[in-house]
Amino acid sequence: MKNIIRFILLILLQVWVLDKVSFDGFIIPYVYVLFVLLLPLNINKSLLLLIAFGTGLTIDFFENTLGLHAAALVLLAFFRPGIIHLFFPRLEFVSGEEPGIIKLGLGGFLKYSFSLVFIFQLVIVFLETFSFRHFLTSLWYVVLGTLVTVVFIVVTDLIFLPSKNKIRKR
């Protein structure tokens, strides 16, 4: 139930508010990716990819982007288990636990989210431009988009943390 509510709230926030926010005309904070980032760690990999596809397709429907977000979010979901094992090989995870700020700490969550959002932004920018002609400019937009999105994701996650867990460092 919590994930369904999170899905609805993040999609509405993205479509009604954040899609209207644009930095330099190209940089939009895609906070809805937080939904896939916070799915339980023990989720079946096929189900994770299907959920990512459905979430991306939902955004594509509202933004009229013909599968752009679905493709980028599926790639993010594909790399998610590997990134978790790469950065947190010794961390014990309980069944159903989310890889959020509470579990990973702020520094760990920043590494985790920055890596995956960078992959997401790379796909978004290069599929949108569909050219390597201005590679450095596109890469600059990828980096800026990643930074803006991660800041919005961290702020959103911190806002919805239970008050007893607000500041916990690892």
Note whether 63 and 34 are within 8 A (CB). Answer: no
Query: How many domains is the chain partitioned into structurally?
Result: 1
Rounded Cα distance, 62 and 124, in Å:
16
67 belongs to a structural domain: yes
146-170 tens-digit pLDDT = 999 999 999 998 887 765 555 455 4
Rounded Cα distance, 53 and 170, in Å:
32
CATH code of the domain in which 69 resides: 1.10.1760
pLDDT of the residue at 24: 67
113 belongs to a structural domain: yes
pTM for the whole structure = 0.88
Rounded Cα distance, 80 and 100, in Å:
13
pLDDT of the residue at 165: 54
19 belongs to a structural domain: yes
Rounded Cα distance, 35 and 168, in Å:
22
pLDDT of the residue at 131: 72
> Domain range holding 50?
2-165
141 belongs to a structural domain: yes
Q: Which of 167, 44, 49, 5 is CA-nearest to residue 102? A: 167
170 belongs to a structural domain: no
